[in-house]
Amino acid sequence: MTAQLPGWKSLPPGAVITRPGSTVEYKTHDWRTLRPVIDQERCIRCRLCWLYCPEGTIIELDKPYTTKTGRKYTRTYEINYDYCKGCGICAQECPAKAIKMVEEVR
C-alpha cells in the first residue's frame, strides 16, 4: 500500500500572508530598557517626535490640552508603549526637551 500523497494543486500556496499590517500582533515593548515620557506641559506640539520615531508609535491625537499657564493646544502626542523600543530618538530630537528617558521597571 502506498500512501496517497496530495497533488501539487491541492497544496496551499507557500508563504502568502493575507493579513496586512499583522506585525501589530507582535509587541516589541520588551526590547526597551529606557522609557520615553512626554511632559505635556513642556511639549510645544511641533510633531518632530512623531516624525522621527522609527516605530510610528508616537500617536498624534486631536485631543485638546491646556497648560497650567493657560496655553491652549488642539493636539496631544502620546506614546503607545506596546511598540516603543526605547531608542531615544524622540527625546534627542525634541526641541522643547519635553521627553525624558527614564529607566524601565517591570
Partner 1 sequence: MSTKPKIPTIWDIPREELFAPGHRMCQGCGAAILMRHITKALGKDAIIVEATGCVEVTTTVYPQTAWKHPWLHIAFENAAAGASGVEAAIKAMKRKGVIPKDKKVKVVAIGGDGGTFDIGLQALSGMLERRHNVLYIVYDNEAYMNTGIQRSGATPYKAWTTTTPVGKVWRGEWRPKKDIMGIVLAHRVPYAATVNPAYITDLYMKVRKAVEIEGPTFIHAFSPCTPGWRIDPALTVTVSRLAVQTGVWINYEVENGEFRVTTPVPKRKPVKEYLRLQGRFRHLTEEEIAEIQRMVDEEVERINKLVGKTVIGPVVE
**Which residues would be at the binding site for ligand SF4 (CB under 6 A)?**
36, 38, 43-49, 53, 55, 57-58, 77, 79, 84-90, 94, 96, 98-99
Nearest of 65, 53, 61, 62 to residue 89 by alpha carbon: 53
Least CB distance to partner 1 at residue 20 (A): 4
Kindly write out the interface string for residues 37-76 of this chain, putting x where it contacts partner 1 by CB under 8 A and - elsewhere.
Answer: ----------xx--xxxxxxx--x----------------
| DSSP assignment string, 28-86 | -GGG-SEEEEE-TTT-----HHHHH-TT--EEEE---EE-TT--EES-EEEE-TTT---
Q: Which does 102 bind (CB under 5 to 8 A by kind): ligand SF4, partner 1, none?
A: none
Of the candidate residues 35, 65, 81, 87, the single one contacting partner 1 (CB under 8 A): 87
